Amino acid sequence: MRLENETPVTSVEETIENILTNSGIKASDIQFRDDSRYLRIGYWKQLDEAVLNKLGDLVITEQSHYDDDCGWLYHYDVRK
């Protein structure tokens, strides 16, 4: 469930959300977070390669880190 401040606020974020929902991801699982507005899917899920290819240069980098309790966590830096 996303909060009001995690919804798309730029045309780039709206385009990303449209691509993701057309790829079968629920809008409620798409979160644009923080002041830097990185993209998080669900509970830090990794996007598959086919979806990343559809996003093209809208996603700049995939960030990941390992959490001892949860395993690998992923988020994505998006183009401004």
Give residue-wise pLDDT tens across range 26-43: 999 999 999 889 999 999
Residue 1 has a pLDDT of: 78
How far apart CA 16 and CA 39 sit, in angstroms, is: 9
- Give this prediction's pTM: 0.93
What percent of the chain has pLDDT above 90?
A: 92
Number of domains in the chain: 1
How far apart CA 72 and CA 65 sit, in angstroms, is: 6
Q: What is the mean pLDDT of residues 32-61?
A: 95
